[in-house]
Amino acid sequence: MEINIRQWIVSVMILGVLLIGGCAQQDVTSPPANLPTEPPVTAQAPDAFSNLPRLEGKATVQMVINGRPVIIEVDGTNAPITAGNFVDLVQRQVYDGLMFHRVVREPEPFVVQGGDPQSKDPNFGGNLGTGGFIDPATSRERYIPLEITPQGAQSPVYGSPLQSARISQTPVLQHKRGALAMARSQAPDSASSQFYFALSDLEFLDGNYAVFGMVTEGMDVIDGIQQGDRIQSAQVVDGLENFRSNGPS
C-alpha cells in the first residue's frame, strides 16, 4: 500500500509540473504518451546537427548562485552535443543573471529548473519556461537533439527516448541526485538552453531526458535555491580545450 501511495504522489507531482508550463517549449514533464511507434534511432549525430558545438571529453563549470559556488562536471564523453551546447552558452555568458523559474520540492524533492533567457529581464511579463537561446548567427532559436548513451553502447542514441527506441539498457548518465539535465517539451529534439538539477534520484526520467553533468560540490546551494533566485555567473574553469565551437574536429 505504501508503494502505491508513493507512486500516486509522484504521478500527481509530474502532472502538476506538466500543467505549470502549459505550452512551454522546455518543460520537464513525464514521458510523452504519444510517442511514435517507429521512432528514428541514430547511432551517430545526424548531419542536421553537425554544426552544433561539441564537448569531446569533460569540462568543469562553476556557477555562482546566491553568492556561493556550485561545481559541475560536464560530461562530453557520453553527451557530446548536449554538453557542448551548455559549455557554449556558458562561454557566451548566456546564463549570467538568469532566474530559476521553477522549483518543485513538494510532495517530494523533484527539480530546480532555470536557463530561460527571457528571465534576464526583471520586467518580463510573459510565461517563463517558454524561451530558448537565439543564435545570433542564424537569428533563430537553437535546438539540440535528445542525446542518450545506453550502457554498453559506443555512441549515443539521438532523437528518441530509449523506451520508444526499444532499447532496454539504462543510460550511462542517470538522474541521480545532483544530476544536470536538459529540459524540453514533448518533442524530443526541442531542448535549447533550459536545464534542471535533480533534487533526488529520479529513475522514471532515465532514458527520456538527457543528463549531461553532475554537481560535484555545492549541492547544499542547490538545495537552498528558491524560485526567483538567479545565477550570478557561470564559467568554465577546466576542460575548455575539449570544446569545439562548430561540431567535431
- pLDDT tens digits, the chain, 249 residues: what are they? 333 434 445 544 543 343 223 334 445 543 333 322 333 344 455 566 888 999 999 999 999 999 999 999 999 999 999 999 999 999 999 999 999 999 999 999 999 999 999 999 999 989 999 999 999 999 999 999 999 999 999 999 999 999 888 888 899 999 999 999 999 999 999 999 999 999 999 999 999 999 999 999 999 999 999 999 999 999 999 999 999 997 555
Number of domains in the chain: 1
Cell 542518450, residue located: 148
Q: Is 61 helix (H, G, I), strand (E, B) or coil?
A: strand
Q: Is 217 helix (H, G, I), strand (E, B) or coil?
A: strand
The closest alpha carbon to 106, from 199, 31, 18, belongs to: 199
In-domain check, residue 74: yes
Beta bridge partners of 79: none
CATH number of the domain that 14 lies in? 2.40.100.10
In-domain check, residue 77: yes
- Containing structural domain, residue 48: 2-244
In-domain check, residue 225: yes
Contacts of 225 (CB under 8 A, 6+ apart): 65, 66, 100, 103, 112
In-domain check, residue 249: no
In-domain check, residue 179: yes
Q: Cα Rg for the chain, rounded, in angstroms?
A: 17
CA–CA distances in Å: residue 137 to residues 87, 120, 141, 145: 17, 21, 10, 19
For 78-144, the DSSP string reads T-HHHHHHHHHHHHTT-STT-BEEEEE-SSS--EEEE--GGGGSTT--S-TTS---EETTTTEE--B
In-domain check, residue 148: yes
